[in-house]
Amino acid sequence: MIDLLPLEIKKERRYDRYKKVSLIVLSCLLVIILGWGLYSNFLVAEYQKEVEQIKKQSADLSLVELEMLEQRQQVITELNANQLLSYGQIIADLNLVIPPSIWLEEFMITAEEKLLIIAKAIDDQQLLKVITRLNKYPFFTQVELLATERLKDGTILLELEGEVKE
pTM as predicted: 0.46
pLDDT number for residue 29:
94
Residues 73 and 99 in one domain: no
pLDDT digits (tens, 9 = 90+) for 15-32: 988 999 999 999 999 999
pLDDT number for residue 58:
78
Number of structural domains found in the chain:
2
pLDDT number for residue 103:
83
Q: What is the mean pLDDT of residues 142-155?
A: 84
Phi, then psi, of 100 in degrees rounded to 5 = -65, -20
CA dihedral of 130, 132, 138, 143, whole degrees rounded to 10: 80
Residues 91 and 58 in one domain: no
Residues 136 and 69 in one domain: no
Q: What is the mean pLDDT of residues 97-113?
A: 82
Distance CA 45, CA 40 (A): 9
For the purposes of burial, counting CB atoms within 10 Å of the CB of 139, is it exposed (0-12), middle (13-18) or buried (19 or more)? buried
* More confident site: 71 or 123: 71
* pLDDT at residue 80 greater than cutoff 80: no
Confidence of residue 83 (pLDDT cuts 50, 70, 90): low
pLDDT number for residue 88:
72
pLDDT number for residue 166:
65
Residues 70 and 30 in one domain: yes
Distance CA 52, CA 151 (A): 68
Least confident of 79-93, 98-112, 151-165: 79-93
Last residue of a domain, one of 36, 57, 82: 82
Amino acid at 150: R
Q: What is the mean pLDDT of residues 57-70?
A: 79
Residues 1 and 78 in one domain: yes
